[in-house]
Amino acid sequence: MVCQYLSNYYLPTRKEDPRDAEIVSHRLMVRAGMIRKLSSGVYSFLPLASRIQHKIDNIVREEMDRIGGLEVKLPIIQPRELWEKTGRWELYGPEMMRFKDRRGAEYGLGPTHEEVITDLLSYEVDSYRDCPLLFYQIATKFRDEVRPRFGIMRSREFSMKDAYSFHADEEDARKSYREVEAAYCRIFDRIGFDYRKVEAATGQIGGSLSHEFMVLADTGEDLILYCDSCSYAANQEKAEGTVVMPEEEPARELEKFPTPGVKTIDDLIKIDSEALPERQVKTLVYRSGDRPLVLLLPGNYQLNEAAVEEQAGGPLSEYSEAEIKQLMGAYPGSLGAVKQDAAIKNLQVWADPSLKGRSNLYTGANIDGYHYRGVDVGRDLKIDRWCQLRVSIAGEQCGRCGNGKLQEQRGIEVGHIFYLGDRYSRSLDADITMDDGQKKPMIMGCYGIGTSRIMAAAIEQSHDDNGIIWPRSIAPFDIYILPISWANDQQRKQAEEFARIFEKQGYEVLVDDRDVSPGVKFNDSELIGIPLRITLGRALEQGLVELTDRATGSTREIPVEQCLEQVEVYLTENGG
Ligand code: ATP
Ligand code: MG
């Protein structure tokens, strides 16, 4: 039961938008007195935001408990040696914040906790009988993001619910994956999100099966591609489409021609106007493990690094221009993979399927300042493997059903689940003894929810020109009681009476007892977005009060005696 009087509360609302805010949730959170910036990507949460965060965390906690999750608290400070065992001290790169203690030992601030929990369980769990286990925590994470922005949407210090499951076999791990997936749906349903579950790339966490939960919003940083005919939906990083190519003219002969100074796709078009981007074979060379990988895709597409890393089973890194010259015989700008070229013979070449069967294309000759025209992919190029290398785009045919077309929409990633297999348990010796006496690494899953990001995502999805519109499930209070004048005896007494009654009924009430103008009170009540407002004004002399629905703005005048009943009706209809 909660009843707060604003004169005892701390609600520093502002009229002005913060200058660094690019999206509405960031603007409104600062204006509604919820967050304040300490430094880039680092924020303090004021009382209002803390209340909302608690509500979000509680929903997450309830649903994790319901599927048997056990809450734990894991250290933020994590030693280098542990991360070296999984290879991630290197792999995680500059996103991990690192420091040395007074003895010179190195640590990272936990960006995620696979290493810590797996290491812990490697000492605790010996037998298949101890499995399955599902541990979770709601805790602060640190990531030195390349571009912290959008307030707490992408911050460097943020709060995450992370969960890890441990299993004796793959089947059990997949079962758990599905249970967490269902729990996530319940969480996002309860919050009232309009969201979509999509197939996702696994990035450097590793693993083979993964889904993201995307809150649909135009300001989302992720692009989702979904099929307009079947249920396929995927993050653009992962999406598989097929490109329908126009009929080719009969293949011409392969011809080498001089292209002095050509470095880019546009440069080549200036020399030969038929060399449109889609006719040029983009040739890229990356280091994968300790070997070079030559990647071919049409010039009008972007390379999908995440997809290539998944195929290659590890991260890609770049070569210097000098190293490329050494490998290929030419600098970037004149690279190609034409069969007869000696340089290409010993290199692995992967090509994007959208190049299949095409002819009359252009490619570099691996001689600076020379290209080929009339390239027939099947006849002329050395290709060792076909796999998707391009980022798919809207308009491609669905790679799943083959019937529909891929459409796009933007999303905010609020959750991400991974089937990990034994990626971590193997490197950290988290073995168990099976019933036949054999030892083998446990099978794992890991599951994240951006609990602080959820707050921002909820605002992106639910606001108007006047401010935030909280869904009831995470609203900081249920009812805002607004007496026009606190100095007016009748209004004050009625406000206090309402506060008592509603609190007793289990509602959370905020009473605006400030000595400020009615305009300020109305503006603040709209800005902070409490679902229901009761206004006590002059009509109270006739026994009437006003009930206003924040979401629709609709206002009704009702007799005081009917107020409790009406509030109940309203709040039950709106997610009570
Ligand atoms: P993103 O692609 O947005 O950087 P991620 O794939 O790195 O996210 P995960 O490692 O899967 O994220 O983390 C789990 C969840 O934590 C994400 O789904 C997201 O909701 C949240 N999250 C990740 N990074 C941040 C951040 N910098 N600020 C706030 N929340 C974040
Ligand atoms: Mg990230």
Q: Could you tell me the pLDDT band of residue 315, with boundaries at 50, 70 and 90?
A: confident
Question: Kind of pairing, strands 195-199 and 209-216?
Answer: antiparallel
Map residue 408 onto helix, strand or coil: strand
Closest to 481 in 3D by CA, of 449, 435, 522: 522
In Å, how far are 16, 28, 51, 437 from 519, measured between CA atoms?
A: 16, 18, 25, 75
**Over 90: is that where the pLDDT of 153 sits?**
yes
pLDDT of res. 303: 96
Query: Is residue 239 classed exposed, middle or buried when 0-12, 13-18 and 19+ CB atoms within 10 A define those classes?
Result: buried
Question: Kind of pairing, strands 97-100 and 406-421?
Answer: unpaired
**Domain boundaries, given as residue ranges, for the chain:** 2-8+477-573, 34-239+408-459, 255-386
**Over 80: is that where the pLDDT of 248 sits?**
no
Q: How many angstroms separate the alpha carbon of residue 354 from the centre of ligand 2?
A: 29
Superfamily of the domain at 255-386: YbaK/aminoacyl-tRNA synthetase-associated domain (3.90.960.10)
Choose the residue to mutate in 416, 447, 449 for probing ligand 1, maximizing ligand atoms within 8 Å of C-beta.
416
CA 10 to the chain's CA centroid: 32
Mean pLDDT of the chain: 95
Whether ligand 1 lies within 6 angstroms of the CB of 143 is answered as yes
> Nearest bound ligand to CA 212?
1
Instruction: Return the bridge partners of 215, or none.
Output: 195, 412
Share of the chain above pLDDT 70, in %: 98
**Over 60: is that where the pLDDT of 576 sits?**
no
Whether ligand 1 lies within 6 angstroms of the CB of 207 is answered as no
Q: Is the separation of the CB atoms in 116 and 142 below 8 Å?
A: no
Average pLDDT over residues 54-80: 98
**Over 60: is that where the pLDDT of 553 sits?**
yes
pLDDT of res. 246: 74
Question: For ligand 1, atom 23, which residue shows the shortest CA distance?
Answer: 450
Average pLDDT over residues 62-86: 98
Q: How many angstroms separate the alpha carbon of residue 416 from the centre of ligand 1?
A: 8
> Nearest bound ligand to CA 95?
2
34-239+408-459 carries CATH number 3.30.930.10: yes
**Poorest-pLDDT segment among 100-104, 206-210, 303-307, 530-534:** 206-210
Residues 260 and 268: their CA atoms lie apart, in Å, by 10
Average pLDDT over residues 511-530: 98
Whether ligand 1 lies within 6 angstroms of the CB of 151 is answered as no
> Nearest bound ligand to CA 211?
1
In Å, how far are 112, 243, 276, 397, 531 from 393, measured between CA atoms?
A: 31, 9, 18, 10, 40
**Quick one: CA dihedral 21, 24, 30, 35, positive or negative?**
negative
Map residue 132 onto helix, strand or coil: coil
Choose the residue to mutate in 188, 413, 417, 446 for probing ligand 1, maximizing ligand atoms within 8 Å of C-beta.
413
Q: Is the separation of the CB atoms in 551 and 497 below 8 Å?
A: no
2-8+477-573 carries CATH number 3.40.50.800: yes
Instruction: Return the bridge partners of 241, or none.
Output: 398
Whether ligand 1 lies within 6 angstroms of the CB of 155 is answered as yes
pLDDT of res. 204: 60
Residues 137 and 448: their CA atoms lie apart, in Å, by 10
Residue 454 token pair:
């959820």
Closest ligand 1 atom to 160 CA? 16
Closest ligand 1 atom to 415 CA? 18
> Nearest bound ligand to CA 450?
1
pLDDT of res. 573: 80
Whether ligand 1 lies within 6 angstroms of the CB of 540 is answered as no
Q: How many angstroms separate the alpha carbon of residue 156 from the centre of ligand 2?
A: 10
**Over 70: is that where the pLDDT of 3 sits?**
yes
Residues 452 and 457: their CA atoms lie apart, in Å, by 9
pLDDT of res. 437: 96
**Over 90: is that where the pLDDT of 249 sits?**
no
Average pLDDT over residues 529-540: 98
Q: Any idea of the CA torsion for 450, 455, 460, 463, to the nearest 10 degrees?
A: 160
pLDDT of res. 342: 87
Q: How many angstroms separate the alpha carbon of residue 48 from the centre of ligand 2?
A: 27
pLDDT of res. 207: 66
**Mind spelling out the 3-state secondary structure of 499-559?**
HHHHHHCCCEEEECCCCCCHHHHHHHHHHHCCCEEEEECHHHHHCEEEEEECCCCCEEEEE
Phi, psi torsion values for 26, nearest 5 degrees: -65, -50
Whether ligand 1 lies within 6 angstroms of the CB of 157 is answered as no
pLDDT of res. 562: 96
Query: Is residue 24 classed exposed, middle or buried when 0-12, 13-18 and 19+ CB atoms within 10 A define those classes?
Result: buried
